[in-house]
Structures are given as C-alpha cells and as structure tokens.
Structure 1
Amino acid sequence: MGPVTSPVPPDPATLQPCLPSPLQEIEDPPFARRGVRLLLKRDDLIHPDLPGNKWRKLEPNLRAAAAAGARALLTFGGAYSNHLRATAAAGRLLGFTTIGVVRGDELADAPLNPSLARCAADGMRLHFVDRGTYRRKTAPDVIAALHDRFGAFQVIPEGGSNALAAQSCSQLGRELCRAADTVAVACGTGGTLAGLAAGLGLGQSALGFPVLKGGSPHFLQETVEELQRAAFGGRCGDWRLDDRFHCGGYARRTPELDAFADAFEDRHRLPLERVYVAKLLLGLTTLADEGAFPPGSTVAAVITGSP
C-alpha cells in the first residue's frame, strides 16, 4: 500500500533560511601560535530544522520534486544520518510524505537511536535493508521493489548530493570569496565540497575531510569530480582531500576525538556535532600544528551541523 500524501501541494518557498550565514572569528591557541586566523562559517544557523549544507543541498531537490508534482520523497542514509533527519523535517514542514531507506537490517528490531527517533517523530517511514541491498540501492530492481512497497515517490540521493546540490553549494563558496585563504568542510557524499570549491575565488583553496572510511583512498575524490562534471562541466576550483581524520568510519569516535572535542567546547563554549564538525576541527587543528598554513593566512571552517 502506498503512502498517504498531503492534499496540499508542497511549497519549498515557505522555507525561510538565514542567508548568508554568519562568520565568527575565534582565538584558538593551535592557530594563534602559528599566526593563523580561524573563522567559523556558521552554516548550522541557516535553519533550525535543516541546518547547514543539508538546507543548501535539499532546497533545490525539494523545488525539483514539487515542480514534478511529487508528494512523497524517498532517500537513503545510515543510522545516524543528518540527511535523513533533514529530509524528515522538510517533509513535516512542507507536507511531503517521507520514506527513509536505512542501511542495516539488524537495526530493524533494535530501539531507535535519537537520530532515527527524530525522523520517525517527524513522520518519516523507516525501511531497513541489509548492507548488500543498500550498496545496490539505486539499481532498477531495488527501486522497483521500493515502488511496489511504497507507491509513487521522488528519489533524493544519499546525502542529497547531485548536480543540483553542487550548484546550490557553489553559493557557499561565493559567500566566502576573499574571506579566507583556505576553506575547509567535512565530507560525507562530497556534494558540499564540489560546490564550495567551484564558488571560491582565485587564490583560495578548499579542503575536504572525509568522515567515512572509504574502500580506496580515491573513492571520494572520484565522486567529487563526477559531481563537478555533472554540475559545472568539469573539475573546477582548487581543492583536495585529507582522509586521516575519519576516526574509523561514519559516526565512529575515538578517545582522541572526544578529548579534542571536549577541550574545544570548554575553550569556546561551542557544542560540537561529533559525526562531522568535530572531525573537521580536529583535522584543521592537526594541520595547524604541522605548520600546513602559512603565518598570516586565514582558515575558515564550515560548521555544517549542530549536536
């Protein structure tokens, strides 16, 4: 049986973000002793329910779904996916029915963690699949089986990352044009980095910190390049990846990460989201200690989520 949909067509124009998001300079010892300025691009303040890159990537996909007459959205994510939470919130706010395909059928009989509980509270129907099926999630037979189960829906890709999302995230780069020499972001599916790098100006570079432990050291680089080809016609902007700070994989944590995040929170009274933001700042702090940023330069960290 298909999902029950709202009789009122969803209107993404009703989402009112706070743009551009503010820049916050903080004095942090590992940067200050190297003569480097640290700025935080507070994208977590864009929208209370769709913070940061989630709003930037979802908004054009929501507009496309509404224009196509879709009333239901289906998307994919892991057990701690911020993208699933944001899609569920968008459904609640706009009247879309939402379906979340969750990696790991072993989770189906377990109590919902806070992220999935929030999705369910916002009306998302959760569908757990085994990891093998999840790897094939976009295969025609898998999508056909999902249509048989849930009826008509518009697919939004995992993480919301596609050409539309990358084009939208290029605005993030334009907002940071001339603000910093290096702009860094934590990466899940690569869409934010693809757009960010395209929007930055001459002399600026983008730095991505993958939060997943990939199957090969180049897995996300190839993904970002593919997104840029689809969105902009080819690789663009000066960007690179540093994959040393995933801490074991998505939503994994280490004592080093927790100790770093606790100390940073104590110094600045700024709660750090641990899946993305803490890993981003751990990576930047390590690079500062290594002397990777020249004295007198400015580094901006894109804060893409909140705890």
Structure 2
Amino acid sequence: MTSPDPLTPRLPSPLQEIRDDRFARYGLRLLLKRDDLIHPELIGNKWRKLVPNLAAARNRPLVTFGGAYSNHLRATAAAGRLLGLPTVGVVRGQELADRPLNHSLARCAADGMRLHFTDRSTYRRKSEPEILAAILHAAGAEGAYVVPEGGSNAEAVRGCRALGEELRGRADVVAVACGTGGTLAGLAAGLPAGQRALGVPVLKGGFLEAGVQALQERAFGARTGTWSLDDRFHCGGYGRTTPELTAFAQDFEERHGLPVERLYVAKLLYGLVTLAGEGAFARGTTIAAVVTGRPFPADGLAPADAPGR
C-alpha cells in the first residue's frame, strides 16, 4: 500500500459568488476563486508554482530567495518538510542575521529551512551567473535546484496556466494580485479568447509588464492571452498597508465572513471595488478575483522596509 502524496491538492479550487452592493449597484457579479483552499500548507498560487518545480528538481535539495516576510520562502520550507527535502532560503538583508527571527522566518526555520542572509547589493545581482554561484557556495548549496524569487519561472508559469483553464467560460475578467508576475503570466495563457486577465501589482515601480511578458516568452514562446496591469493599488509597496486598506479588509471580512490576507488579497479586492466605482467594467460583467493566500499571524504588520514575496 502506497503512502498518500502529501502535496495532493483540492482541484479545481472552489468558485464562490459574493453578494456585495459595491459591485451589484453597477450591474456586476463578483466571484472569488478560492485558490487559498487548494492545500493546507502550500496555499494558492504557491502550490501551482512550486509543484512543477519540485518535479523538475527530481528530489534534489531546493534553494530559493526572498525577503524577510516572503510567502514563497514559507511555502518552499513547508514543501521541503512534507517531502523530506533539504531547503535553503537566501534572505535579503545581511543585517537580519543579527536580529531575532520574525514570525515568517521563524516558521521557515521550524520547517527545517536553513536560512542564509546576504547583503542587499549582492542580492540584487543574484541573477548574474557568477554572483549566483558565489551565493550558492557561501550557502553550502552547490548542486541544489534553484527556484527563483517568488517561484516564478517557466515551469511555474506553465503550472499556473491550469488556473486560467479552470475559469474558462466562468468570468469575463479574472483579476489577481501580482508580486513577480508568474501567476498572471500563466493565468492569462489559460484563458480563451473573450476573457481577459487583470493584474494588480503589490510592489511599486511600474516594471512588471516587461517581466510578465518575459515569463510568457520563456514559457510559451510569445506574449499570450489578453492581460493588463493596474499598478495604483500597492499602497506604497510590498509589506506596506494603509489605515484605509486595513479598514477595507476588516469591513470585507465582516460583510462576507471571509479572512482577507493583507499583503496581496486585500489590495486586489480594494482595487476591484475602486475600479467598479470608476465604471471600469461594463454592466453585466462577471469578475473573478483569485484568492491566492490567507492570513498568516502578523501578516500586514511587516515594516515598510522589509519587502519580500
């Protein structure tokens, strides 16, 4: 008798209609694509992005990258524990090595991830082959399978294409919060003609469009699907919230009895409510919002200078 696969998902993830007068008054329907229910520990797009990379790793140790509050680091550490694979997390910020671990990094360590802290200037150059080799050597991770920051590479993008396929014919617009853009890149590729994807970046900078297109080119050979970005709703950047966003998330939770993750999902929903009020969607439009995560203790309280994803 074989043991059950600890990464077995709940797919397709549920699609839940939400009755909200902030959409209904404009003749709009809001659906929540509950990717937060795919797996108890690899939440939402983290499952969709990591599982293809785990297959490519072929049981080699994993090394990946992230900031001090990285959801991706937590998911990779959990996957390593569940599968019995060694994991190494390269964390941006050498100064963090001398501080007590925050709630997020402590969870990574508890799941068996070995943390290696690197200075920010080196971290920014981690995609350069020589710099990457030096980081891996310093971390004692030569020969490990490298998963990029945020988990976004061609394997991950192809894995996220199934998200769009699950939503074929179910919504006119499918919206998702974006960190590195891999989920949007795959989602858009999975949608048919006539449906479009909307990305809401949670980092400021306006640089993500080129990144999403590059990911699609690596995964599929060309820009694919109909997609766009609206970068007005980052609330100052990753890890940053505002009193208005916090009040919005609390109100949404009270209205609908659903927990709202602050760093991604709250910004997505806030953006959609704003766009609905601006008349950005024609009457009769069905909007599906992808719930990519759920609250982790102290999420939304990360200091503004401690980004990560």
TM over 0.5: yes
CA-atom RMSD, angstroms?
1.4
Give the whole-Å Cα distance in 2 for the aligned partners of 1:20 and 1:191: 19
| CA positional deviation for 1:209 | 0.4
Tell me, yes or no, if structure 1 residue 170 matches structure 2 residue 161: yes
- Opposite residue 83 of structure 1, the aligned amino acid is H
- Alignment partner of 2:47 out of 44, 51, 55: 55
Residue deviations 1:232-282 (CA, integer Å, cap 9, x gap): 110111100000001111111111111111111111111111111001101
Tell me, yes or no, if structure 1 residue 205 matches structure 2 residue 196: yes
- Opposite residue 158 of structure 1, the aligned amino acid is E
Aligned partners of 1:12 and 1:59 also within 8 Å: no
Task: Report matched runs for 1:1-307 at 5 Å.
Answer: 14-66=6-58, 69-70=59-60, 72-149=61-138, 150-151=140-141, 152-214=143-205, 217=206, 219-307=207-295
- Opposite residue 94 of structure 1, the aligned amino acid is L
Residue deviations 1:153-175 (CA, integer Å, cap 9, x gap): 11001111011111111110000
Identity %: 70
| CA positional deviation for 1:95 | 1.1
Give the whole-Å Cα distance in 2 for the aligned partners of 1:300 and 1:109: 43
Aligned partners of 1:12 and 1:94 also within 8 Å: no
Change (3 A) 1:12 1:113: farther
| CA positional deviation for 1:202 | 1.5
Give the whole-Å Cα distance in 1 for the aligned partners of 2:257 and 2:116: 38
SS of 2:200's equivalent?
Answer: strand
After alignment, is 126-135 or 88-97 more displaced? 126-135
- Opposite residue 102 of structure 1, the aligned amino acid is V
- Opposite residue 299 of structure 1, the aligned amino acid is I
Aligned partners of 1:74 and 1:99 also within 8 Å: yes
Give the whole-Å Cα distance in 2 for the aligned partners of 1:145 and 1:226: 26
Give the whole-Å Cα distance in 2 for the aligned partners of 1:39 and 1:154: 37
SS of 1:108's equivalent?
Answer: helix
Over 3 Å off, 4+ runs: 11-14
Query: So what's the TM-score if we normalise by structure 2?
Result: 0.91
| CA positional deviation for 1:148 | 2.4
SS of 1:100's equivalent?
Answer: strand
SS of 1:185's equivalent?
Answer: strand
Change (3 A) 1:12 1:54: farther
Give the whole-Å Cα distance in 2 for the aligned partners of 1:274 and 1:110: 24
Give the whole-Å Cα distance in 2 for the aligned partners of 1:31 and 1:186: 19
| CA positional deviation for 1:126 | 1.1
Residue deviations 1:38-84 (CA, integer Å, cap 9, x gap): 00000000000101000000000000001xx51x1110011111100
- Opposite residue 83 of structure 2, the aligned amino acid is L
- Opposite residue 27 of structure 2, the aligned amino acid is G
| CA positional deviation for 1:147 | 3.2
Residue deviations 1:172-222 (CA, integer Å, cap 9, x gap): 0000001000000000001000000010011101000001112xx2x1100
Give the whole-Å Cα distance in 1 for the aligned partners of 2:12 and 2:114: 33
Query: So what's the TM-score if we normalise by structure 1?
Result: 0.92
Give the whole-Å Cα distance in 2 for the aligned partners of 1:127 and 1:40: 37
Give the whole-Å Cα distance in 2 for the aligned partners of 1:268 and 1:107: 38
Give the whole-Å Cα distance in 2 for the aligned partners of 1:166 and 1:64: 13
Give the whole-Å Cα distance in 1 for the aligned partners of 2:5 and 2:198: 32
- Structure 1 residues without counterparts, runs of 5 or longer: 1-10
Give the whole-Å Cα distance in 1 for the aligned partners of 2:167 and 2:136: 41
Give the whole-Å Cα distance in 2 for the aligned partners of 1:12 and 1:299: 36
